[in-house]
Amino acid sequence: MAIENPQKDPRPQRTRVAVLLKRGAIGLLVLCLLAIGAYALLMKSGEAQLRVPGEKKADSRVRTVPVVAVAAKTGDIGVYLTGLGSVTPLNTVTVKSRVDGQLMRVLFKEGQIVRSGELLAEIDPRPFQAQLTQMEGQMARDQALLKNAQLDLERYRDLYRQELIAKQQLDTQEALVRQTEGIVKTDQGQIDTAKLQLMYSRITAPITGRIGLRLVDPGNIVHANDANGLLVITQLQPIAVVFTIPEDSLPPVLGKLKAGERLPVEAFDREQKRRLAVGSLLTVDNQIDPTTGTVKLKAIFPNDDHELFPSQFVNARLLLDVKRGATIVPTAAIQRGSQGTFVYIVKVDQTVAVRPVTVGVTQGDEASIEAGLFPDEQVVVDGTEKLREGSNVDVQAPGSRAPAGKGPKASRS
């Protein structure tokens, strides 16, 4: 009979030990994670307790956007039509000699302002004086012949009444008198021509204006058919400006002219920063340029201070109308977004609100608002790039230092 071994199998016991060790490691890991989380919460709570009220205010100031705001005002704003133009003199004359001869004296200076009728130069008058003397002598002779023929005619008439001569002889004498009268008239015409030639030897200014550069020097022989002439005179007072406007703007201009209204025109320099002169609209061209769709207008300026010079490039601005009592804001306050134009309004609680507006006339740095804004409301003109609906702002006075981080205008989101 076999005897059984009383020792038990050790494998189930080793399995239970392994399970207990595994559970203990997991529990230890969980305890470590809980300890780390508790420590983090404790540190965060401690920092929150140590933070002073001043730091909270500092964070609040960081979120405030510095801006410059102005109040909308009520005023008048002009409706202008602008166009590119050039200065055009009303009269430009090339002064030429009307007779042939030697240029003896030049009495003007280059760039001089001369008056109409002022003596400018002299051509040798002696040939014309000699011709005048010759014509006057010939006329004296012919006048003597006429006087003698008239006396003979009176005698022939007495003889004819006495029937001592034939009628044909009387008619012949009457024809001779009329012929001699014609010769005397011809002599008078030649004398007038000689006097005119003598007068033309003195060259005078035909208009009032500014003399250009001298084209001929004294001593030269000048001719009436010379192409260049002696000098050029350009009228500077008054002077005109010819500029263009779009054809769509022509009907209101014509309406004002038909009503007899005077339309002021201002001339500005090339950069449109300095006003050169103020005048008025003179006339409108009689046709529209089909290639550009524009029409020419001519304005006249007194040009008392000679600010306008012929062929000078200017920017013309025609005052068509004036809007009275309009709400006016700086153009910098007007923003443009996907939904149209709007402005940022500064409210009493120092926050901003987005306000859609309808923009009317824009003139320079100002624009009129037709709808959406009331006078005296504060609008933001600088610092708009960081603003949104409800943003807190720190309003600064106009002319102070511009807000930092100035960039392009923000669009409404």
202 torsion bin: left (phi>0), alpha (psi -120 to 50), beta (else): beta
pLDDT at 288 over 90: yes
Residue 114: CB atoms within 10 Å: 21
pLDDT at 61 over 70: no
Mean pLDDT of the chain, nearest integer: 85
pLDDT at 50 over 50: no
In this predicted model, which residue has the larger pLDDT, 12 or 293? 293
In this predicted model, which residue has the larger pLDDT, 211 or 409? 211
Q: Which of 56-60, 115-119, 143-147, 249-253 has the lowest mean pLDDT?
A: 56-60
CB 43 within 8 A of CB 344: no
Residue 135, pLDDT score? 95
Residue 395's pLDDT band, with cuts at 50, 70 and 90, is: confident
pLDDT at 24 over 70: no
Share of the chain above pLDDT 90, in %: 59
Q: What is the pLDDT of residues 358-382, one digit of tens each?
A: 998 888 788 999 898 989 899 999 9
pLDDT at 97 over 50: yes
**H-helix or E-strand containing 257?**
helix 250-258
390 torsion bin: left (phi>0), alpha (psi -120 to 50), beta (else): left
Q: What is the pLDDT of residues 317-349, one digit of tens each?
A: 999 988 888 899 998 999 988 888 999 999 988
pLDDT at 195 over 70: yes
Q: Find the mean pLDDT for residues 269-292.
A: 93
* pTM above threshold 0.75: no
Nearest to 215 by CA among 92, 93, 95: 95
Q: Which of 22-36, 103-117, 291-305 has the lowest mean pLDDT?
A: 22-36
Nearest to 383 by CA among 403, 400, 401: 403
DSSP string, 152-195: HHHHHHHHHHTT-S-HHHHHHHHHHHHHHHHHHHHHHHHHHHHH
Residue 263, pLDDT score? 94
pLDDT at 7 over 60: no
